[in-house]
Structure 1
Amino acid sequence: MAWFHSLCFALVFSALSNGGSATTRVIHPPRYLDTLLPNGNFELSPKKSNLNKTVIIGKYSLPKWEISGLVEYISGGPQPGGFYFAVPRGVHAVRLGNEASISQNVRVKRGSIYSLTFGTTRTCAQDEMLRVSVPGQSSDLPIQTLYSSSGGDTYAWAFKATSDVVKVMFHNPGIQEDPTCGPLLDAVAIKEMLPLKYTKGEFLYELGSLIGYF
């Protein structure tokens, strides 16, 4: 297991050092990544007047977020049609329909490396994908049907900040027969990742400490 985590960190920092972004899927997010974005767990709900059943009406109706397209505000538990949505954290989450997206401007340090973590699951039988992006960097993540004990798989996506404010966006690029089909998203967090520094005799200790968070 130790060699696997060492390889993961090596791949992440190798990609970022070349100006790219890196993605990895983890079961338990490291403690040092667990800093929720404003309303990152979606427990601040839209006003009832801005909801048509579960569909959010209005570009700025979801507190702290900007939405585009068909975005639903979901409560965990049994759903119409016999479905059951397990929410990773708290009670509520959002569901991104065809070509829908949510975004938020986040203040960061230019040149620093950050990691986003979030819980997501697919909600229909069709293949689903989630595109995560900041300006100039993006990744398309195929959403699996696996579930952890908290109800959703946890992903981590790393990027290098190229400005003091970045627009973090989650987008469903899929076109499904049912326009509401799309990934469920919850527990969005961000944290600056301090670079590994080599000090003779201490490098392995520092790397081991990082790996110990998994």
Structure 2
Amino acid sequence: MVVTLVCPLFLALLFATSAFAALQPRSPEAYLQNGNFEELPNPRFIKKTKLIGKYSLPKWEINGLVEYITGGPQSGGMFFPVTHGVHAVRLGNEASISQTIKVKPGQLYALILGASRTCAQDEVLRISVPLQTGDVPLQTLYSLDGDVIAWGFKATSNVAKVTLHNPGVQEDPTCGPLLDAIAIREFYPPMPTELIW
């Protein structure tokens, strides 16, 4: 008796869940333009690892000491984890990268990115979109993936300038967060459902 009741209830629940899921709009995350930094800078605008010029990093605007890094073992015994591709950027003291993106006013979004600490000192990543700013402390992780950060914001206009900034002032000016795989995802608020019995 119990088995015969459970099976139809399970099937009804499964059908209702899949029907409800089909009605919900899907919005997978998508990289920002050159969000994984695999579009190489022009060799004229890079000296060793340092990017030279405000627009030297394709699709991004840079400010301050920004390095274009190839992941893996580095000189001096360091290892830079780059889990999504081969390249990443490192923000030195007071350095930032920014990009203007299209958004929908009033809509909720999440920026999703990989960030790793590269020096022993405390490191913080400041993420800002107009009218909203937040500081994310980076931890020392003993994995090859680094931190995966999700930072939410509500769009106030049809464009938003996303800025990732290292507010730190370290003794070594190159010390700062290593950034990789910057993506965005649009979220839809949950809608109430009506149960029909």
Provide the TM-score with structure 1 as the length reference: 0.77
The alignment partner of 1:115 has SS state of strand
Q: Which runs of 5+ in 1 are unaligned?
A: 1-30, 203-214
The answer to whether the Cα contact below 8 Å between 1:33 and 1:117 also exists between their aligned partners in 2 is: no
The alignment partner of 2:31 has SS state of coil
Corresponding position: 1:101 with 2:96: yes
Deviations 1:52-88 (A, max 9, x none): 1000000001000000000000000111111110102
The alignment partner of 1:49 has SS state of helix
Query: Which residue pairs with 1:143 in the alignment?
Result: 138
The answer to whether the Cα contact below 8 Å between 2:29 and 2:186 also exists between their aligned partners in 1 is: no
Query: Identity of paired residues, percent?
Result: 64
Query: Which residue pairs with 1:119 in the alignment?
Result: 114
Number of residue-to-residue matches in the alignment: 171
Deviations 1:118-155 (A, max 9, x none): 00010000000000010110110000112545x22111
CA distance in 2, matches of 1:147, 1:107: 36
CA distance in 2, matches of 1:52, 1:199: 58
The alignment partner of 1:146 has SS state of coil
Query: Which residue pairs with 1:56 in the alignment?
Result: 51
The alignment partner of 1:123 has SS state of coil
Query: Which residue pairs with 2:162 in the alignment?
Result: 168
Larger CA Rg, structure 1 vs 2? 2
The alignment partner of 2:44 has SS state of helix
Q: Which runs of 5+ in 2 are unaligned?
A: 1-25
The alignment partner of 1:80 has SS state of coil
Deviations 1:143-187 (A, max 9, x none): 0112545x2211101100001100000000000000000000000
Pair 177,102 (structure 1): closer, same or farther in 2 beyond 3 Å: same
Cα RMSD between the aligned structures? 1.5
CA distance in 1, matches of 2:66, 2:28: 26
Provide the TM-score with structure 2 as the length reference: 0.83
